């Protein structure tokens, strides 16, 4: 029987597509938010999604996407399709952005890593 992964060993994965320029900013944001919640030790990895087939198999709705245990931290709208595209997030103030609102990411990380 396999035991569950201890919370302290869980990592966060960023799914990215090389055609989208937001990866470096997404990584910086994730590291900043993890540090702000006292979880700077959480491992962060990147998985590159580079084909339409991989996008469909990964249920990839755009770059960047943040996941813990293959679960989206900031879920996309049901109407989003799986594709190689740059993701657009709606921030709490209503603006659109290539990155999620820090507060949304923070809340999702707190829930996923607890």
Kindly list the structural domains of the chain, giving each domain's residue range(s) and its CATH number in brackets, ordered by start: 11-112 (3.40.30)
CA distance 9 to 7: 5
pLDDT digits (tens, 9 = 90+) for 77-90: 888 899 999 999 99
Query: Using an 8 Å Cβ cutoff, are 61 and 67 in contact?
Result: no
DSSP state of 8: G
The model carries a pTM of 0.87
CA distance 71 to 74: 9
**What's the residue count for the chain?**
114
Answer yes or no: is pLDDT of 1 > 70: no
């Amino acid at each position: 029987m396999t035991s569950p992964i201890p919370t302290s060993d869980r990592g966060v994965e960023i799914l990215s597509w090389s055609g989208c320029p937001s990866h470096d900013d997404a990584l910086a944001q994730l590291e900043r938010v993890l540090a702000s919640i006292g979880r700077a030790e959480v491992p962060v990895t990147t998985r590159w999604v580079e084909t339409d087939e991989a996008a469909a198999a990964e249920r990839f709705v755009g770059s960047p996407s943040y996941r813990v245990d293959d679960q989206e931290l900031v879920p996309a709208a049901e109407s989003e399709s799986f594709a190689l595209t740059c993701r657009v997030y709606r921030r709490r103030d209503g603006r659109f952005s290539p990155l999620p609102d820090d507060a949304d990411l923070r809340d999702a990380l707190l829930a996923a890593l607890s």
